[in-house]
Amino acid sequence: MPADDAIAIRKAGPADVPILLRFIRELAEFEKISHEVAATEETIRESLFGPSPAAEAILAYRGGAPAGFAVYFANFSTFVGRPGIYIEDIYVRPELRGTGVGRTLLVHLARVAKERNAGRIEFAVLDWNPARGFYERFAARAMNDWVFYRFDEEAIGKLADL
């Protein structure tokens, strides 16, 4: 790959909030759930770069231009007895898919996991997403015997009030 098409990964910082939010919105549009995006620059800045960061973010650049991102955080497996990494989002701009950006993001996250002695990397993928084949090429295994559940903010409030 010519140097001008080089792929670089770097840790995101507070100045990157606008591009992160743009990528979040692009991802939501791809997943057909744009109506669910409530994040703002303020909430992203506070959640990722405030006094108690809830997650970490990395940005991928190809040829010096923003190409994709990943947001991830630590989790823990009682069965493995070690920490892990949960990838909340991994996204590559549509015109750059198949150019190595996704692979570079995934390899970077695997290296982070290895440095942290993580026993697992976990993530969820919509059942119709063609990226499933991409992940499976790298030995990711679908956990079809598990059902993914979510309490949304309203459900959390109701449960907390019991």
Residues 6+ apart with CB under 8 A from 90: 68, 69, 70, 102, 105, 106, 109, 123
Helix ranges (H only) for 98-146 are 101-115, 131-137
Query: Do the Cβ atoms of 55 and 88 come closer than 8 Å?
Result: yes
135 is catalytic: yes
Cβ count near 62 (within 10 Å): 21
**Which of 101, 75, 96, 94 is closest to 86 using CA atoms?**
75
Q: Which of 72, 91, 135, 149 is catalytic?
A: 135
Pair of tokens at residue 77: 């497996």
Catalytic residues: 135
